[in-house]
Amino acid sequence: MASTVVDVVMPQMGVSVSEGTITRWLKQEGEAVAFDEPLLEISTDKVDTEVPSPGAGVLQRILVQEGETVEVGTRLAVIAAAGAEPSPAPASAPPQAPPEPAAAPERAEPEPAEPGPAPAVPGAGDGRSFVSPVVARIASEHGVDVARVPGTGHGGRVTKKDILAYIESGGAGAPPAPAAAEPAAPPPPGPEAGPAPTAAPAPPPPPAAAPGPRVPPPPAEAAPPPPAPPPPEPPAPAPGEIVEPMTAMRRGIAEHMRRSLDTSAHVTTVFEVDMTKVVAIREKLKPQYQAAYGVNPTYLAFVARATIEAIRNWPWMNAEVRGESIVVKQYVNLGIAVALEGGKGLIVPVIKNAEGYNLLGLARAIADVAERARAKKLVPDDVQGGTFTITNPGGWGAIIGTPIISQPQVAILDVEALVKRPVVIADEAGNDVIAIRPMMNLCLSYDHRLVDGAYAAQFMKELRENLESWDEATY
């Protein structure tokens, strides 16, 4: 039973926030709810917050009604996983709910206390009601601001053990350092490359990264995960070093990349493709397309078209791992990684329903989103809902890459440089000869949680065949 039921708990909305009021249930008992869909709204101070559902299924029972105020960590509702037998709900919520912040309205890592809170604000918070006298005494003896100590107690409360560990770790007497939360790692120096580094981040945070549905809720008495130690103060820049803050987008990318590696079991496979036929067709189409439509049929467009065609037969390439379910998309929303000028970051605009485009349509759509991305003219809708991503570092001469998957997708295709190489082929008489051929490597990173090597290789084989035997009538 435990594995099919997910608890919704009052999330922790700040170190000094001990309780919240339910303002509105957005779903009623018995109603279906999707993972990450807004489930209820809570109010703390003058702030209303949407709480997304920690699991998919049916809202089986609401335990705390609108208007009631409860402590952080209190069980608010129970969601029965889709397909689970409806189970009799407990008569009342246990007061000591699992501290697992399953419903926390963020991307869900167990939350250590904020490493670098802002300088104390006069009158801020009511942290005192949250601290035992022992902890308060230790704090004042050592000159520690309790708000800075990661709490592991119920609802994030700071225990005696926490504060002693904090003092032990050298936290005491440290100057208030908001910068601690912002390690000032300088971005790599030098000219930033243009489009499409190896990896393609998607800006949207991946709901699949939340632990909610995958991890059965811990038993009520389970200890919360231990907090991470406070991050060390970044060292002052040494002579010869230049320090600058990361931009918001840089941080977003950094966070997404790290989270993707933590989520998916990345494997990369590389296929080499003989592009002789594509090159010939492109040479023929290029003047036609440019004269008639002002569009350049790029190699990227050819690869994108062939990829979409291959996805038809290998649908798990266009899917998502959602909790313990596999969600296959019947449409292809194709993400194209685009680097912004001046190394300002990377964005993945999405071509919606790309399966409906022929080569010309795709070439035009790719040019359009890339241009709008660089001109910062994308609307939010343009970057959401991708189901498969293509990144294109080949324009800079790259020949092999291991791209990082854009969550919650399960695959990303890296299009490498077209290079003339000597290859062994069979001549008309069936003898081996060495020929000069335009070769292109395609590198696919896939999520081995869902896709096995044989499946990925067969997908790639079909993609290669689509390109090597390009059929103008079909594409």
Task: Kindly state whether residue 69 participates in binding other proteins, applying the rule CB under 8 A.
Answer: no
Q: Which is nearer to other proteins, 21 or 132 (CB)?
A: 21
Site string for other proteins, 360-399 (x = CB under 8 A): ------------x--xxxxxx--xx---------------
Residue 48 interacts with other proteins (CB under 8 A): yes or no = yes
448 is catalytic: yes
By the 10 Å C-beta count (0-12 exposed, 13-18 middle, 19+ buried), 189 is classed as: exposed
Answer yes or no: are the C-beta atoms of 221 and 275 closer than 8 Å. no
Of 23 and 268, nearer to other proteins (C-beta) is: 23
x/- letters, 294..323, toward other proteins (CB under 8 A): ------------------------------
Of 2-10, 85-93, 241-249, 404-412, the window that binds other proteins (rule: CB under 8 A) is 241-249
238 binds other proteins (CB under 8 A): no
Q: Is residue 444 packed enough to be buried (19+ CB in 10 Å), middle (13-18) or exposed (0-12)?
A: buried
For residues 335 and 267, is the Cβ–Cβ distance under 8 A?
Answer: no
Interface with other proteins: number of residues (CB under 8 A): 64
Q: What's the residue count for the chain?
A: 475
Quote the least distance from Cβ 108 to other proteins, whole Å.
Answer: 11
Among 208, 347, 354, 440, binds other proteins (CB under 8 A): 347
Span interacting with other proteins, options 211-219, 248-256, 279-287, 449-457, rule CB under 8 A: 248-256
Strand pairing partners for 71?
19
DSSP string of 243-285? --PPPHHHHHHHHHHHHHHHHS-EEEEEEEEE-HHHHHHHHHH
Give the Cα separation of 28 and 471 in Å (integer).
53
9 in contact with other proteins (CB under 8 A): no
CA atoms of 319 and 131, how far apart (whole Å): 47
CB nearer to other proteins: pick between 317 and 369: 369
Angle between helices 276-293 and 299-313 in degrees, nearest 10: 110
Residues 189-228: x where in contact with other proteins by CB under 8 A, - otherwise, as a string? -------------xxxx-----------------------
At its nearest, how many Å lie between other proteins and the CB of residue 372? 6
Contacts for 32 with CB less than 8 Å, ≥ 6 apart: 57, 58, 59, 82
Min CB(412)–other proteins separation in Å: 18
Contacts of 37 (CB under 8 A, 6+ apart): 52, 53
Q: Which of 95, 114, 108 is nearest to 52 (CA)?
A: 108
Which of the residues 401 through 460 are near other proteins (CB under 8 A)?
none
Q: Which of 45, 48, 452, 471 is catalytic?
A: 452
* Total Cβ atoms within 10 A of residue 272: 16
SS3 of 128, please? helix
Which of 470, 82, 124 has its CA nearest to residue 306? 470
Which of 27, 39, 53, 111: binder of other proteins (CB under 8 A)? 111
Cα gap 166→450, rounded to integer Å: 41
Residues from 160 through 189 that contact other proteins (CB under 8 A): 177-179, 181-184
Assigned token pair, 167: 């003092």
**CA-CA distance, 134 to 161, in Å (whole number)?**
11
Which span sits near other proteins by CB under 8 A: 163-171, 252-260, 284-292, 389-397? Answer: 252-260
Residue 125 touching other proteins (CB under 8 A): yes
To other proteins, the closest distance from the beta carbon of 431 in angstroms equals: 56
Q: Which position among 13, 350, 363, 442 is part of the footprint of other proteins (CB under 8 A)?
A: 13
By CB under 8 A, name the one of 83, 88, 123, 173 that touches other proteins. 123
Task: Please say whether the beta carbons of 33 and 81 come within 8 A.
Answer: no
Q: State the catalytic residues.
A: 448, 452
User: Which residues of the chain form contacts with other proteins (CB under 8 A)?
Assistant: 12-17, 23-24, 38, 41, 43-50, 52, 105-106, 111, 114, 116-118, 121-125, 177-179, 181-184, 202-205, 234, 243-249, 251-253, 256, 347, 372, 375-380, 383-384
